[in-house]
Amino acid sequence: MCGISCIVALANAQKHTSGPLDNPKTWPQQLDESLELIKHRGPDSRGQWISSDSKVALGHVRLAINDLSPDGAQPFHDEDNSVHAVVNGELYDYDALRASLLEKTGYHFKGHSDSELVIALYKYYGLSFLSHVRGEFALCIYDSRTQTFVAARDRYGIKPLFYTFVDNKMLIAAEAKAFLPLGWEPEWDVASLKEAGWNHDTRTIFKGVRKVRPGHYMLCQSFDSIESRPYWDIEYPHKTQPDPRSDREMIEGVRSQMLEAIRIRLRADVPVGVYLSGGIDSSAIAGMVTHLVKEQGERMGNDKETERVSCFSIAFDEDSGFDESAIANRTADHLGVKHYKKHMDEAELAARFENATWHCEHHNPDLNYVGKYALSEVPQELGFKVVLTGEGADEQFGGYPMYLPDYLREQDLAYASNPLPEETRKAQCVKTDEENSAYYHSVGADGANRGPSLPRRMLNDITTVSSMAAFSPDTLFADWTKAYGACDPQLTIANSVGGRARDKIMSAWHPLHSALYVWQKSHLSNIFLSCLGDRTEMAHSIEARTPFLDHRLTAYVNGLPPSVKIRWDGEEQRFTEKWVLREASRPFITEELYKRKKHPYSAPMTYAENGPLHKLLSGLLTMERVEGLGFISWDEAEGLVERAFKKDAGAMRFAFTVAQWVVIGERFNTKRAEAPSSLYL
C-alpha cells in the first residue's frame, strides 16, 4: 500500500470510560473537522491531535491508572510539538527510566505517567526505544519532523492492535469495532476462518483487517511504504548445551524473578487486586503478593490497607465438574486475603453470551470467555481498576498435557541428572500421544489429526501443532468455500512461523521448546490473551497485568532445561508439569496446590434441554440467521442444537461457534459472504 492520504490511530477505544472519544457516532465529524485543519495545532478539547500536514490523527480514551491528574491525559507531545504518542497498557520500571533520561537528555516531562516515557525514549534511542520498554502495551508514535509513523505491540501480544485501510486512509485501533464510525464496512474473511488464519497469523475474521504481530512494530515513512519489523523474539538455548546449574539454583532463580515481576506490577495510583482460581498459577501470584505486602511492606496500588490483599474468583455449579471455587476458598483462607466470588450458572452464561462475543470479536468453542467476562465485573463493581492474573505460566513452564509427547520426543541432553530412563521416554512418548488423542475426542475435538504431515515435518514432528488445530468446524462450511482450496489449519500454523525460528526448531531447540514457541506465537496471543484476557477485561475497564509474561522472567525460564519444567516421578510413575514453578512457589501456596495436577480453565460443556442456553442457541441458530452468514451450510448446521443437548460435545462446540458468528455478523452488520466470481490463488 502506498500513497496513504492519512493515518488515524485510536488507542484504548474499547474502554468503557467517559472521555472525549467515548461516543463513536461523533468520531467521523471530529475527524473530518480535524483533517480540514491546515496549520499545526496542539491537543484539542476532544483529546485528538492533527499534525501540521493534516495527515495524522491520534485519539485516546483514558483509563487512568498512573498520574490521575490532567497531565496524564493523552495524546502526549514533546516540547516542540513535533513528536506525538498514544499508549495503551502499562510500562514498568518507569522511575528508573525517567531518571536515566533526565540525566542523559534533560527531557522535560509534563507529568508522571509511565506512558509519557515513550516519547523521551524514542527521541533518544530512535527505533531502538522498544528494547528499553518493559511491560504490556500497544502504542503509536508520529514524528512530524521526519514524517515517520510507528505502531508497536508488546512482546507477547498482551495488548491488541489492529489496522485496516478505508478510502486510502490507514486506521489503527485496539479493536475492529473502532473502525465502524470511520467508514469501514465489515466483510467475512472466509479463507481465514477455514484456515484458522485469525488464530495463527496476522489475519482476523474480517477481510482486510490485520493484527500487528507481537514483538513487532509497523513503520510508515512519508505516508508511502508500510512494513512490519520484529524488535524481539523468544529464544531458547541449544538442546545439546549442558546446563551446569543445580536444581536449587534454578528454583531460587525462578523465585527471585517472579517476585520482582510481581513487585513492579503492584504499583498504581488506583487499587490493585488479584484474580484467583483453583490452579497453581494465580495462587502463586496471590501468595507472592501477600508475602510482598505483609513481609516487605509493598502497597497494592494506592491501597493504604497493607494487611489484606483482595482476590476475585468465579464459581460454576458444584456438580458441573468445572468448579474450582472450593480450592480458591481454601487458598484465600490460608493466605488471609479478602475473597470476592461471582457465581455463574447456566442462566448467567446465557445472559452474557452475546455481549461477551461482541467484545471479543472472534469465536471460541468454549464458554470460558463468558466466564472471564463475568469475572471482570467483580473488581469493577468493587472499585478496582487493576488486577494481576496468571496467564502465560503454562506456556513458559510446560503446563499443558499436550506438551508431553513433544517433551518426550528427544532426550534432554541439557539436564545431566535427568531421572527419565531412555526406554521409559520412548514408551511414554507413544502413550501420552495416544492419551492426548483420546482426550480431544472426548471433548468433541478432532483426535485423529495427529498423523505424519507436511506441517509436522516443517516443525520437527511436534504434535502440539495437531493439538492446536483440533477444534476446526470445517464440516460446516458451504460447498462454495472449496474455491479457497485445501485449507489446512496445521499448515497455517507452520507457515506462520518465521524461517529463522523454523531453522532453530529443526536443528537447535528441544522439541518441548519448539512446541512452547509455536503455541505462544498463535494460541497465546490470539485466544488466551484475547477473549480470555484483554477483550473481556477491558470491556469492564479493568487492566490486567501478567507477571508470568514479564520478558525478563521469561528469558530466565526459557534458558532452563526442559526437564526442570516437566519432571518424571519414577516412584509414582507420572509426570509433574511446571515442576520448577511448583518448587519456586512452594513457600507461598498450600500443600494441596503444590501437589495438584493441571486442570485447564474451562466452562461446563453439558447442559439440560429447554434450559437458558438451549433457548438462546435455538434462537440464534435458525435457518434465516445461519444462511445470513453466507459461508455456513444450513444442511450441516440444521439439527446442531438438538445434537448438542443430547451430550454430543462436538455438536455443542460447533453450536457455540456458529452462534457467535451470528452475533458478530449481526452486531457488526457484516456483509453476507458470497462465492467469489473469480478467485486467483
Residues 403/566, Cβ–Cβ less than 8 Å: yes
> CA distances (Å), 224 to each of 228, 245, 308, 410, 437, in order?
14, 51, 55, 48, 49
Angle at 210 between CA 1 and CA 552, to 5 degrees: 115
First to last CA, the chain: 20
Q: Is 2 a catalytic residue?
A: yes
> CA distances (Å), 618 to each of 357, 557, 621, 649, in order?
17, 47, 5, 17
User: Does the annotation flag 569 for ligand binding?
Assistant: no
Handedness of CA 568, 571, 576, 581 (dihedral sign): negative
Residues 84/50, Cβ–Cβ less than 8 Å: no
Provide the β-strand partners of residue 172.
9, 163
Residues 498/521, Cβ–Cβ less than 8 Å: no
Question: Which helix or strand (DSSP H or E) is residue 192 part of?
Answer: helix 190-195
The grid coordinates listed for 476 are: 460446516
State the Rg of the chain over Cα.
25
Give 628's DSSP letter: T
The alpha carbon torsion through 547, 509, 200, 401 (nearest 10 deg) reads -70
List strands edge to edge, sheet with 169-173: 48-50, 56-60, 6-11, 169-173, 162-166, 210-211
The grid coordinates listed for 283 are: 495462587
User: Does the annotation flag 314 for ligand binding?
Assistant: yes
> CA distances (Å), 478 to each of 153, 483, 673, in order?
36, 10, 10
Residues 6+ apart with CB under 8 A from 218: 150, 151, 152, 163, 212, 226, 227, 228, 229
The alpha carbon torsion through 588, 590, 592, 593 (nearest 10 deg) reads -30
Residues 37/201, Cβ–Cβ less than 8 Å: no
CA 634, CA 628: separation in Å to the nearest integer? 10
SS3 6: strand
CA 613, CA 656: separation in Å to the nearest integer? 10
Question: Which helix or strand (DSSP H or E) is residue 1 part of?
Answer: none
> CA distances (Å), 130 to each of 88, 136, 170, 231, in order?
14, 12, 22, 7
The grid coordinates listed for 579 are: 515442576
SS3 290: helix
Pair type for strands 48-50 and 574-577 = unpaired
Sole residue written with cell 477485561: 537
Provide the β-strand partners of residue 645.
none
The grid coordinates listed for 16 are: 468503557
What are the phi and psi torsion angles at 450 (to 5°)? -110, 15
Residues 165/152, Cβ–Cβ less than 8 Å: no
The grid coordinates listed for 7 are: 493515518
> CA distances (Å), 422 to each of 210, 414, 419, in order?
45, 15, 10
Residues 6+ apart with CB under 8 A from 577: 394, 397, 398, 399, 400, 401, 403, 565, 566, 597, 598
Residues 387/273, Cβ–Cβ less than 8 Å: yes
> Which residue from 106, 109, 101 is spatially nearest to 72, judged by alpha carbons?
109
Q: Which residues are annotated as a binding site for L-glutamine?
A: 114
Q: Which residues are annotated as a binding site for ATP?
A: 314
Residues involved in catalysis: 2
Residue positions forming the annotated binding site: 114, 314
